[in-house]
Chain A
Amino acid sequence: MTIATQGVPTPRTHKKDQDSEVAMRLLIIEDDRDAADYLVKAFREVGHVAELATDGEEGLAHALDGQYDVLIVDRMLPKLDGLSVIGTLRSKGNETPALILSALAQVDDRVKGLRAGGDDYLPKPYSFAELLARIEVLARRRGGREEMVYRVADLELDRLSHQVKRAADEIILQPREFRLLEYLMKHAGQVVTRTMLLENVWDYHFDPQTNVIDVHISRLRSKIDKGFSQQLLHTVRGAGYMIRDGR
């Protein structure tokens, strides 16, 4: 497959695609100065505010004091490691969503990270688009209630009856297609990367090396968007996909 360009998306393109975006307050706990500065700048370019802590203890202190939407925690930190920082926060009742960055990419490492209280786990090296998409999903998760019916424009998905309708016409979906659409609609207006889909809809943590996901998406798209004037399932270049009311 030709790998879609993965890099820092230009602010213009990104903002246009993410209009449900609210400026977030982020705390980055990372001891690698270069990586940290890069992240702070990149987040600023897309409209978020990022603060920096360069070791575990400083990070913990900031996190306890401040009100952040999402914490980005590197696993290996001086003074206090990332997992301990999160563990301490959780034990003090702080439920701020935390995304763990780590060079350790095995499934066990991931499980350990999530068990320590992390909400997501991203192995290094990562693309900023991936990180951004996951951060925004984490931030929004915080405020949501569990809805039973997802709606985007005239597309409706009933999670209980497993029925999907567009403009009141029923659309028949295979079980996997339904789950794919469900995940996309759950994060309507947010970028959903291929890796996120593979992890959450299929529960796989490896890199498939080919564009398997793309084909599933295009099949879904042909079922829900074909014949309708308004396209809801968008490809976000350099990042992934998004279901969005285009108006």
Chain B
Amino acid sequence: MDIHDFYDKMDRNNILLSFKGDITAELLTSILQIIESKMDNMQEEPKLKKKVYIVLVELLQNLYHHMDDPSQEGEASEVARTAIFMIGKENSHYNVITGNYIKNDKMTGLKKKMDEINSLPPEELKEHYKRILNNGQMSDKGGGGLGMIDIARRTGKPLFYEFTPINDVYSFFTLNVVIEQ
């Protein structure tokens, strides 16, 4: 691996922090602390800081709760129980990217949820949020797709996503969230 090339790529994309590995509760706490103190050091505007922070919480907790674990099911070792997370800042906006494995049979449902969110204007998105919050169809993990709706409401932007086919069982799910003032 060419580390200098890797460094250059991260540098060009103004990556503040990136992580690849197992997502644990302790790790989430650390990432949030690091990003919070970085934003304090950059004297980020409180409103933007808050927005970035809560969007990060939702994205990281989505990974923590919903990431599929191929290794537990005796799949080929090329697919491991890890996820990737990156946060960068370009000009005045933040870019947060997450990537994780997902079972193909869950992909259609997730894609449908995100497409629906992306198709709704702000007022309808708000109603959609209240409907899901109130209908009680949430698991112990939260879920119900509320996190994704919350991210779209807060950022006012569509969810940019991609699914890369891996094999018959798994795909790799990439989500890119842009946060502006």
A binds B: no
* B contact set with A: CB distance below 8 Å: none
